[in-house]
Amino acid sequence: MEWSVPVNEMLRDDITKITHTLVPPGFHGDVRQVRVVQESLSRTIDALGEQSAQAQGLSKVITTAEKLRNAPTHTLYLLKDPKAKGGRGEAIGLLKVGRKHLFLFDERDTVREVEPLCVLDFYVRADRQRHGHGRRLFDHMLQEEGVRAEQLAVDGPSAKMEQFLRKNYGVERLLRQNNNFAVAPQFFATSNDVRSDSRLSGLTTQRKNQANYSLSGRSTPAAAPAVGRFAAHKPPSAIATVIHGGGGYFPEVSAGTASSRPRLERAMNSH
């Protein structure tokens, strides 16, 4: 028998922060009730995660309950419409964030070792987009996490995300990195390196690229991209190309291509 708890019973607030426990904050119940709510919540997360992947053309789903359960450092914000489904409520958006240990290049070709909060997945149901729901969800996350939009790294930003950041947060352009993350130029003014750069300063450009390739986000690095713009050979010395992704600002990502790339080990990552 399939259990299903109405969204309004599972999620008390319009925006709910979910962690690896998969128990909504404020939920009380016995073991059986907790299990039922976890199962219902998991199905809700899986359904939205699947839609998000489809909307972004990903070949692999980024957000599932199982993945969240196994990632204690990730946080998922769920947005509901309490009036939908005849007053039972409906989950209409998700935003997943988490810290990642990354090597990023600034505009002066300096490699920086940082651990920013990253936008790992972001989705509002197709029939609800452009009604301010994304902004609400994003604002809530910024406030909860105590960060500004330009302090975030975005994993595999889509063209819609580019527009969204520009319109809502004045982020005019993003610097795309070869590990598929992108940051605002202002990012580097406020981010602190997690350790001295000296270990990296002696690295060749090729080695720096390897470092970046080694520290992938969700869509995994572009070490051996299969198709699309990622298929083009990138000379290791063309550092500006690496920083800007070789295609101007914020080109649409063929994330399906990206996520189908093999995941490389975090060779230089101590985490």
Residues that bind ligand COA (CB under 6 A): 52, 55-56, 122-124, 129-135, 154, 157-158, 160-161, 163-164, 167
Those residues with Cβ within 8 angstroms of residue 252's Cβ, 6 or more apart along the chain or in another chain: 158, 159
Write down the least CB distance from residue 87 to ligand COA, Å: 22
Query: Could you please report the per-residue DSSP string of 85-100?
Result: HHHT-EEEEEEEEEE-
By C-beta, is 178 or 180 nearer to ligand COA? 180
Strand partners, 175: 183
Round to whole Å and give the CA distance between 5 and 12.
Answer: 12
By C-beta, is 58 or 211 nearer to ligand COA? 58
By C-beta, is 24 or 134 nearer to ligand COA? 134
Strand partners, 81: 90
Quickly count helices (H) and strands (E) in the chain: 11, 9
By C-beta, is 167 or 199 nearer to ligand COA? 167
By C-beta, is 171 or 223 nearer to ligand COA? 171
Could you tell me the two tokens for 83? 């009036």
Reference 14, options 60, 67, 80; nearest CA is 80
Write down the least CB distance from residue 218 to ligand COA, Å: 10
Those residues with Cβ within 8 angstroms of residue 237's Cβ, 6 or more apart along the chain or in another chain: 205
By C-beta, is 8 or 129 nearer to ligand COA? 129
Identify whether the C-beta of residue 94 lies closer than 8 Å to the C-beta of residue 45.
yes
Write down the least CB distance from residue 240 to ligand COA, Å: 23
Using CB atoms, what's the residue nearest to ligand COA?
134
Write down the least CB distance from residue 265 to ligand COA, Å: 25
Write down the least CB distance from residue 260 to ligand COA, Å: 17
∠ CA 180-186-192, nearest 5°, is 85
Write down the least CB distance from residue 106 to ligand COA, Å: 21
